[in-house]
Amino acid sequence: MELTPAPWRRERARYFAGVPAWGMPATGYREEPVPASLFGGVDRDWALGGADGSGVRVCVLDSGIDGTHPLAGPVDRAWEVVTEEGRVPRVRACEPTDTAGHGTACAGIIRELAPGVELSSLRVLEDGKSGSAAALIAGLAYAIEQDFDVINMSLSTARLEFRGRLAELCDRAYFRRTTLVVAAHNLPIESFPWSFSSVISVASHAEPGPLTYYYNAAPPVEFCARGVRVPVAQPGGGVTRNTGNSFAAPHIAGIAARVLSKHPWLTPFQLKSVLYHCADNVSIEGDDGGVLVSRAT
């Protein structure tokens, strides 16, 4: 019988209809389970059963968070990056507000999945919708120094001159046991820091379950979570539906927070391994003659 190439050796499809770039088809990859035989005792009940994110500090690095929104608040701390011509960007405290809604949407997803987290906001988008790579770097550096357990970044930069500095910061976070969950770009272009191995990179799938996520065996994206027509909080108290890898990342950030609230000593690489073994398409060898048994719940 002719063997098919391993997923990471195959040519990756550029697009799936209705899903942002780097994502999965609407059917997911359930038909091709990924074997995981080294950690048979790790499953979702072990990883996050009974956990709600309590004791875990999460920072949303984005456009801010509307702290009054019932689906996103309360906000523990709020900062913003201030950029002035001719001066180095600086971080200052501010009110928990969001003029664009992007950060509030991400915060609401995290809060839904891990209602017990201590959620903070750091605005790096200057006008609420776009920002400079310098502001992103200043904000990320500050957030890392605050020793958050998880930082959600649903943004990236394609500026090559900032790649090295971002890589240094992501490595610093990794060794300080701060997990960076980063959305892949919505277009098939090279950008950073989601493509770094030191972060947890996330793209979209089109299924409706907020806890449904997949391991992607064809890098650079590692996980795919709900990211198509996601109901999200918007400033002012309302709810809308949005599509994008931006909204897939906070699903993984929320799940990661729940895992850490139950297992606070996990390092970023251990947490990534737990997420891998609890993905809906990862399987273990059963006791029935080696038949693959799905972990999906």
Point out the catalytic residue in the list 102, 185, 205, 277: 102
Q: With contact defined as beta carbons under 8 Å apart, do 295 and 283 qualify?
A: yes
> Is the bond preceding 219 in cis, omega lying within 30 degrees of 0?
no
**Is 69 annotated in the active site?**
no
DSSP letter string over the chain?
-PPPPPGGGSPPPS-BTTB-TT---TTTTTTSPEE--S-TT--HHHHHTT---TT-EEEEEES---TT-TTT---S-EEEEE--TTS--EEEE--S--SSSHHHHHHHHHHHH-TT-EEEEEE--TTSS---HHHHHHHHHHHHHTT-SEEEE---B--GGGHHHHHHHHHHHHHTT-EEEEEPPSSSS--BTTTSTTSEEEEEE----TT-EEE-SSSS--EEEE-SSEEEEETTTEEEEE-SHHHHHHHHHHHHHHHHHH-TT--HHHHHHHHHHTSTTEEEE-TTTS-EEE---
Tell me the HSE value of 65 on the side-chain side, using a 13 A CA sphere.
28
Point out the catalytic residue in the list 63, 195, 246, 283: 246
**Is 62 annotated in the active site?**
yes
The token pair at 252 is: 């993984």
- Residues with a catalytic annotation lie at 62, 102, 246
